[in-house]
Structure 1
Amino acid sequence: MQTTALRLRSLAAFSMALGTVGGAHAAGFNLLEQNVSGLGNAYAGSAAIAENASTIYFNPAGMSLLPGTEFSAGITAIKPSFKFSNDGSTGPGGTPITGGDGGDAGKWAALPNLYLSHQLSPKWHVGLGVGAPFGLTTDYEQGWKGRYHSEKFAIESININPSVAYKVSDQLSIGIGANWFQIDADYRLATPRPVPNVGVFDMDTRVKMKGDAWGWNAGILYQATPSTRLGLSYRSRIKVTADGTTKLKNRTIPGIPDGTPLSKFDAEATIKMPDTAIFSVVHDLNPSWTLLADVSWTGWSSIPKLTIENSGPGARDSELDLRFKDAWRVALGANYHYSEKWTFKGGVAWDQSPVRQAKYRPTALPDNDRYWLSIGAQYRMSKNATWDVGYTHLFLRHTDIDNDTNVPERGLTRGSYKNSGDILGLQFTYRF
């Protein structure tokens, strides 16, 4: 017991030093990539499969299927692509706008995760998970046509999730966890500044904020038949108040060196991170084939807008009108148990975006419905050690933008995006 407690404390301490980078590869800026063992199935069956300790995130009740002590760690490389083509964008107040199309706003990102579960008794399990459930990075070339809406928007998060599971009977298990969640945001854009008798020039605006809060998650696992298992899980909303600064620096105003600080304000924003619910089914068709299915819901309507409140002499608040809608996701997958050492995986998914109208599509998140095509493999190198590898390609619908929510200050961004994404991951699991 003391050894397990020491391991849990060591994992928690290591997690505090773990950097997280947002990739935004579930719809919105939710990150499903909380393990790699599920990546090859497009995360079908995520709340019922309980293959390893990463079940702590998807359904903590799944720990009841894990004997002894289990450690799992993985890393996922994510490459989104957001390529804008202009079709009638204007500057503030409808004035002509200069600049390019911004290049590819998607960049490589690395997403790590860590999990540890331990069986205290035949009925009780405890565990700890560390990951990044939300993240986003869009990074355009400076001076592009949509620069007054966004040039860079980055969200990074970390979530520490201690959990406990109780085996009620041979058929039913329940689990619950607490979540300490921290978010960092970095928002950069150009702000127009009129100079009397000269013209309108750009200033660099950068908002940096950080905040943390607590939430919870819970799940149920039910063995309906010897070959069919059902899972139901829920993660709560988390209301985060982040604070930091808004800084303005010169970019093009004549007579002032570029980069000269012009203003600094205290900044604050409150955001309700959405709750999620997952229903999963796992069915062993025969000794060679396992079928998996998922239906999940995300309460994105908790974010109708994002308001950044600035305080100080001359300060003005900034607002993004988002009007996010709740979203659904459906996934189907299959595992082929080729041998005692090898299992091959596949999966498909439809992932609905919270952004439904071109008018409210932000340049910071040029999101749309996406389709997942996934493959993966699992290699059991020994009785206790397992490697997982997975790959997903994301196909996105044609994505129009016609954002005129603040033409007087930011202008109109009109055009279309060609979007796609690739995800590649590697995970190691060891059972003591």
Structure 2
Amino acid sequence: MSKRLLKTGLAVAITAASSQAFSSGFALNEQSIAGMGTSFAGRSSSADDASTVFGNPAGMSRLKRSEIYVGAAAIYAKSDIDRVNASSPGGPIAGSNDGDMVPVTGVPMGYYVKPLDDKVAFGLGIYAPFGLMTDYESNFQGRYYADKSYVRVITVQPTLSYRFNDKLSVGFGPTFNHIEGELTSSLFTPLGDGKVKVKGDDVAVGFNVGMLYEFTPGTRAGLTYHSRVKYELEGDTRVEAPALVGIAGKYDANLELTTPESVDLSFTHELDDRWTLYVGSTWTRWSRLKEIRVENDAPALPANLSTIVEDQNWHDTWAHAVGLSYKLNPQWTLRTGIAVDQSPTNNVDRSPRIPSGDRTIFSVGAGWSPNQDMTIDLAYSYLQEESVNVDHVSASRGTYRARYKNSAHGLGAAISYRF
């Protein structure tokens, strides 16, 4: 019983990843609404507004005036679940699989850029690079493998860029990152279900660095590196199961998690005075998540269970995107794009917490500039994943086999003000 408790309650903390985010694993792409309109093609080379603090800090050198940028994106996701075969450790299990486990989720962002002189610019960004929110219905048939998951990373990034000449610029910024999470799962007992809740947080430091090279005034390439960030979450686990004498209660827990580094390479080319082409690729080192290792301070439990290890074996991923913008007139710019993005999970270890497959994203957007000082950007994205199978059997958690097909809608809006 004790071993089942730890594997159901504590170890899920790191495995909780959102298959509905508009990037692989539990990464979020929504740091720019203009970029969202082109499926984030050209993210490190467009450098058209203050969101370049995240996309490529070197791009601040292209902004000639101070700028404030504030925006947010909302994500609505849905999963179709069928071919279900489920049972509890005690036998057949009743319940549902309606797939409505992701509440509408908001992703905020804000940036400030100030040119200090002709060569140096300062920037500050606040954004969410990683996050998830999933919450299955209370009688979900796979509840012993997944129930509720909430994880959020908020990053503050002060940044400097330096322009060597009219072609080459570089930028660098440390990132100060706060992660928090709350995760719950159901616990099977012969006398009825219990509940396990895990909470924890941490602060850690990373960095972003970028380079921008302008071949001509209308053609440029960008390269951005986002570093890994290592967290050591400290928190507690609450067990609500009165029938488990000596087990129910509160325990201290330490969870290690590393969010992966990524490299983005993209090109922006102005085909003429109206059309602009964007292409880009992003590599993310998800292979860092080989296993889950949970250290527990639980004197009421056997010493050999103080450390629990579960394999994950995620793999590195590539995302590729292409986008277009069309300048309809001095006030309006229209955008569209398509992206393909690999899932880091594998067919053996995929669980109801991570039921993700490779995805395709279609986007449209528009920018409206009523004057030279202000721009309002809007974007819509639709994500469609390939169907994937979840197949898990455990003596302590029963059986859950199902086929998932996920989709999501994203809607974003932002305003930029230059002065």
Aligned to 1:381, the other structure's residue is in SS state strand
The alignment status of 1:374 with 2:363, answered yes or no, reads yes
Cα shift readout 1:245-297 (whole Å, capped 9, x = no counterpart)? 1001138x59x9xxxx9311001100110001000000000001000001110
The offset of 1:306, in angstroms, is 2.5
Report how many aligned residue pairs link the two structures.
397
Cα shift readout 1:170-192 (whole Å, capped 9, x = no counterpart)? 00000011001111111111112
Select 1:189's aligned residue among 185, 188, 191: 185
The alignment status of 1:294 with 2:285, answered yes or no, reads no
Instruction: Say if 1:139 and 1:153, in contact at 8 Å, map to a contact too.
Output: yes
The alignment status of 1:414 with 2:405, answered yes or no, reads no
Select 2:32's aligned residue among 35, 38, 41: 35
Alignment partner, residue 339 of structure 1:
329
Select 1:52's aligned residue among 49, 55, 80: 49
Cα shift readout 1:86-135 (whole Å, capped 9, x = no counterpart)? 5322323x843332225411210111100001101100011100000001
Aligned to 1:201, the other structure's residue is in SS state coil
Instruction: Say if 1:79 and 1:106, in contact at 8 Å, map to a contact too.
Output: yes
Superposition pairs of residues 228-377 of structure 1, within 5 angstroms: 228-250=219-241, 262-315=248-301, 316=305, 319-357=309-347, 359-377=348-366
The offset of 1:319, in angstroms, is 4.9
Alignment partner, residue 12 of structure 1:
none
Alignment partner, residue 381 of structure 2:
392
Provide the rounded CA distance (Å) in 2 between the counterparts of 1:410 and 1:131.
37
Cα shift readout 1:370-426 (whole Å, capped 9, x = no counterpart)? 10110000000111100000000001111211134xx12223321111210000000
Superposition pairs of residues 88-127 of structure 1, within 5 angstroms: 88-92=85-89, 95-101=91-97, 103-127=99-123
Alignment partner, residue 207 of structure 2:
216
TM-score by length of 2: 0.91
TM-score by length of 1: 0.88
Aligned to 1:30, the other structure's residue is in SS state coil
Aligned to 2:100, the other structure's residue is in SS state coil
Which stretch of structure 1 is more off in the superposition, 364-373 or 97-106? 97-106
Aligned to 1:232, the other structure's residue is in SS state strand
The alignment status of 1:81 with 2:68, answered yes or no, reads no
The offset of 1:60, in angstroms, is 0.1
Structure 1 gaps of 5+ residues are 1-20, 194-198
Instruction: Say if 2:19 and 2:356, in contact at 8 Å, map to a contact too.
Output: no
The offset of 1:354, in angstroms, is 0.4
Provide the rounded CA distance (Å) in 2 between the counterparts of 1:90 and 1:323.
26
Alignment partner, residue 67 of structure 1:
64
Q: 1:158 to 1:235 in 2, by over 3 A?
A: same
Provide the rounded CA distance (Å) in 2 between the counterparts of 1:118 and 1:378.
22
Provide the rounded CA distance (Å) in 2 between the counterparts of 1:320 and 1:207.
17
Alignment partner, residue 7 of structure 1:
none
Provide the rounded CA distance (Å) in 1 between the counterparts of 2:219 and 2:22.
29
The offset of 1:33, in angstroms, is 0.2
Amino acid in structure 2 at the alignment position of 1:314:
A
Aligned to 2:146, the other structure's residue is in SS state coil
Alignment partner, residue 431 of structure 1:
418
Provide the rounded CA distance (Å) in 1 between the counterparts of 2:80 and 2:293.
27
CA RMSD of aligned residues (A): 2.0
Question: In percent, how many aligned pairs have the same letter?
Answer: 35
Moved >6 Å (runs of 4+): none
Provide the rounded CA distance (Å) in 2 between the counterparts of 1:307 and 1:97.
30
